[in-house]
Amino acid sequence: MPARHAVWLTGWGFCSPLGGDAQSFMDQLFTARHVFQRLQRPLVRPVPAAMVDDPGLTSRAWPSHLDRMGQMAILAAQRAIQNAGLAGQSEIIDTCGVYLGNGCGTTESNHDAYERLFATQRLSGLTLLRCLPSAAASAVAMDLALHGPVQTFTNACASSSMALGEAMRAIRHGYATCVLAGGSEAPFGAGTLKAWEALRVMAPDDDPDQACRPFDVSRQGLVLGEGAVFFVLEQQDAARARGATPLAVLQGYGCSNDAHHWTEPDLEGQKRAMRAALDDAGCQARDIVAINAHGTGTPVGDRVEMMSVASVFDGCAVPISSTKALHGHLLGASGAIELAACVATLLRGQVPHTRNLRTPEPASASLDLVRDAPRALARPGPVLSNSFAFGGINASLIVAPAPS
């Protein structure tokens, strides 16, 4: 069997509701500042949302063919390359690939194109380029002159977790030495919002700040968010040779499908993904020191995840939280921002709390839900992150502390 190369995370970049740099992201992750607001779009009732307010989006002239999803992706990718110390490292950059996950694609551009078509029966010559699902990944590669493989993963809410996991596999098995991997999502096109509204899974807009309540008995649905997060993944030996300092080690990845129902999750499928990630990382359930749950705040989804986690981690006192109540549900980019939360857990030695969790769901009785405030890690060790998507697509990642 070929040697497996360890995979280091050597840089990360943000364009997120919790800020545009690692320090801001971690500060807001652990201080639970208010980020949700009321969003109004044509044809759609007001909804709570987690929006990005980043000067980088307005301080430059973007090409007319580039959608908001691509703009955020470029900013986060640039920042990840800078953070990894790769700016100007042409030999590494030249072969670096881009693995990007998104769930909804170019929603604002799609809506604008249809609106223009119905009004004028004409479209801009750049419409197709602007609406390509792969446009963001290609834009990142062009902007940063990355000549390695470019891949787009569109697997609903598991998209960026799968992009990161597949990038890890590519490096581990020698197909690449450096990959820029993560996710970007801009789901606030009016047509897409209307579709989410029709599905009846979004939280009401009574109080945006309290709308997202994962695992609480009063939870009423999810709160959508936008943003982009990228990581630089490198083969350990190559990163060490250039003097890089890792943030953490991406150690395990597991994926599965429920083959059960479009919107109702199946606990057996979720258990398969978590156990596959544990096996891939060479871990036992008792080794995991914290879990970042998928935890969207929907009545059925949260309950099934609590049951699947309780089964896999039976007898293990593992602190569990959902950070979606802090940054919103970034859909295809949720796996990337939540892996960032796991890395922050390792770097800060703290587990973020599940905001707005006051009365836990009875199904969580055997689980150690982190509520009220962040909690100190009991010991160093690997952290697991879950991403469970419509269509029964499941992905779990495990990230471990950087070697000392």
Q: Among the options 5, 65, 111, 294, which is catalytic?
A: 294
Instruction: Tell me how far apart the 2 most distant CA atoms of the chain are, in Å.
Output: 63
d(CA 370, CA 351) in angstroms, rounded, equals 8
Annotated active-site residue 212? The verdict is: no
Structure tokens at 328: 């919103």
DSSP state of 350: E
Token readout for 260 is: 């059960």
Question: For this structure, is 327 an active site residue?
Answer: no
- The label of the residue with tokens 């649905």 reads 221
Which residue among 96, 157, 255, 283 is the active-site one? 157
Q: Are the beta carbons of 223 and 330 closer than 8 angstroms?
A: no
From the candidates 65, 329, 342, 353, give the one annotated as an active-site residue: 329
Side chain identity, residue 74: I
CB of 7 closer than 8 Å to CB of 250: yes
Cβ pair 151, 101 in contact under 8 A: no
Please tell me what DSSP assigns to residue 135: H
Residues contacting residue 303 through CB under 8 Å, at least 6 positions apart: 361, 363
For 180-219, b/e burial (b = at least 16 CB within 10 A) is bbbbbbbbbbbbbbbebeeeebbbebeebebbbbbbbeeb
CA distances from 36 to 11, 243, 387 (A): 27, 40, 21
> Catalytic: 294?
yes
Residue pair 208/358 in contact (Cβ under 8 Å)? The answer is: no
**Catalytic residue IDs:** 157, 294, 329
